[in-house]
Amino acid sequence: MEVVSNEINVRTGSESMPSHIARPASGGPYPGLVVVMEAFGLNAHIKSITDRFASEGFVAIAPNLYFRQDNNVVAYNDLPGAFRLMGALKDDQVVADMGAAIDHLKGLKEVKPNFGTTGFCMGGRVAFLTACRDARVKATAPFYGGGMVSSRQPGVKAPIDYVSGLKAPVLAFFGGKDAFIPIAEVDKFRDALKAAGREAEIVLYGDADHGF
């Protein structure tokens, strides 16, 4: 399916958030999807994934959640830079920015009133957190999102602590050899969703490492 993509600015509060948006070149309306970047920022790889989702029949938007920070895209071998950027994010602000991306999709005539979230690494956590805190999200598919059931920052709730607000089915993907997300944590995530009575499928690729 032919795709049209471009760079836009999305209004979030009083600020403008750079974002990459892609859609099928014709037809519609299509479901809307927010694609959440990895810890390394809104780079060419995430933009290409966003375009791939559009080629499958979504209007997909990838917001730059680091836009308030300088030097907000780092190389894949720059873990200190990624941790610096990721560590500056605040969940309440992230959820508001994600809501702004959904608002933008909602205002497009090419988009159905059906919204999903997906994301990778840090973005997997954000995709699930947003689904728990924004009832407009009707499906979420996080990839190897860490910190789902146990907070990694003092005083910050884990996404699963908001599970009572989750209205979306969950399809989550993890790697069995992922040192960042032990299998015990994946099991806790699965068990917590089951205990909450939420519809969820957890896919574990036994031989996959983080970022597969």
Placement of tokens 């690729």 in the chain: 205
Q: Which helix (H) or strand (E) holds 131?
A: helix 122-133
Catalytic residue among 178, 187, 191, 207: 178
Exposed / middle / buried, residue 81 (Cβ in 10 Å: 0-12, 13-18, 19+):
middle
Catalytic residue among 51, 97, 121, 132: 121
Whether residue 74 contacts residue 81, with contact meaning beta carbons closer than 8 Å, is answered with yes
Q: Nearest 5°: phi and psi at 130?
A: -65, -40
Enter the DSSP assignment of 124: H
Non-local (6+) Cβ contacts of 77 within 8 A are none
Collapsed DSSP state (helix, strand, coil) of residue 193? helix
List, as one string, the DSSP characters of 77-102: T-HHHHHHHHHT--HHHHHHHHHHHH
For 69, how many CA atoms within 13 A lie in the half-sphere containing its CB?
Answer: 20
The answer to whether residue 121 is catalytic is yes
Residues with a known catalytic role: 121, 178, 210
